[in-house]
Structure 1
Amino acid sequence: MKSSRSLALVSLFAALMAVLGLVPKIDLPLGVPITLQTLGVMLAGCLLGPKRGLQAMLLFLCALALGLPLLSGGRGGLGVFMAPSTGYLIGMPFGAFVTGWMMSLLPCGTPGRTAISAFIASSFGGLLTVHALGVAGLVKIAHLTWTQAFLGTLVFVPGDLIKCALCAMVVHTVARGVPDWHFGGRALK
């Protein structure tokens, strides 16, 4: 029963990533669009924990590689892994893992404390980790210098901080409504 619940949650969050891809993208000259899908990475890590969050993102990337148009703007297929945004895509599973791992280490005694922990975990996993790999991808694929790639990715930070706050609000709501939820893979204390 436990493995079927895990499978359902992993599938649900991979589907959530697809739904977040329905929101139109905002194209930037950098070759990497602004989307809501980073929010899905953050939520997967906070709500599923490191292992299941990673699995959800890997399932999403596998479906994407098979050609399903799940990225914002209806993009999909192997070609998206050859674009300037490749580093960000590869960063999604790592971001969910880091977010979940940090969430498992941070205090979750009350809904408010859990929300603060979610904001911190999302900032490190969904923002820093994804962007670090995104910058590396821009250097490798778009042939930018490290400085150009780093400065280019700064345009995403204000929006991603808003996504961290949205993730914290969702986690707060879940903590209030389902007090025995396993944030970061452990029980709320």
Structure 2
Amino acid sequence: MYLDHIAIVFMEPCTTGHGRIKIRAQLARNIDDLLPYLNAVIKTANYNPKAPSFSYKTGNHIITVQGDTLSATQMENESDAYEFLEQFQIIVNDTADNKAHITPLNKQRERLKPFELYRYLPKTNCKSCGEATCMAFATKLVDGSQKLDRCTLLKEQENSLNYQHLAFILKESGYDLH
């Protein structure tokens, strides 16, 4: 097993989330050698090979890994933190086990920008997605807190090409469409 345990060494309230916590955890080993492989596996990651550091967002959590240290924000509670760490350990171990079949990505990805997505949105600011404007919706798509299917106008016949294009962009960038 590549990573046999992760221990929480620090926990405190998040300054940005009401009632949420942030943690710092000690990994059983330095995983810098695995970061390019994780970068290939976790499509929404931001990998800096010069540091080396690795970060990504999953749900509301922002995860950062450097060497043998992991920090995570916006955890609901201690139980949520332990559950997340178990899932992270599984991802790390699966990635390590499948290294031979993964092409490492040794560079930073270009990050999606809201305006790139906004170009293909209806621009009606209809609020059917739950956001005040189409630009706000595009911003939430980029940060992963909104899903493309929430825009009802994109499902109409005249917008189907834009929907397909947005779906392609998001999928290629590693976003979950549903």
TM-score normalised to the size of structure 2?
0.25
Give the number of the structure whose residues are more often helix, by fraction. 1
Give the number of the structure whose residues are more often strand, by fraction. 2
Higher-Rg member (1/2): 2
Q: Larger relative contact order (C-alpha < 8 A, sep ≥ 6)?
A: 1
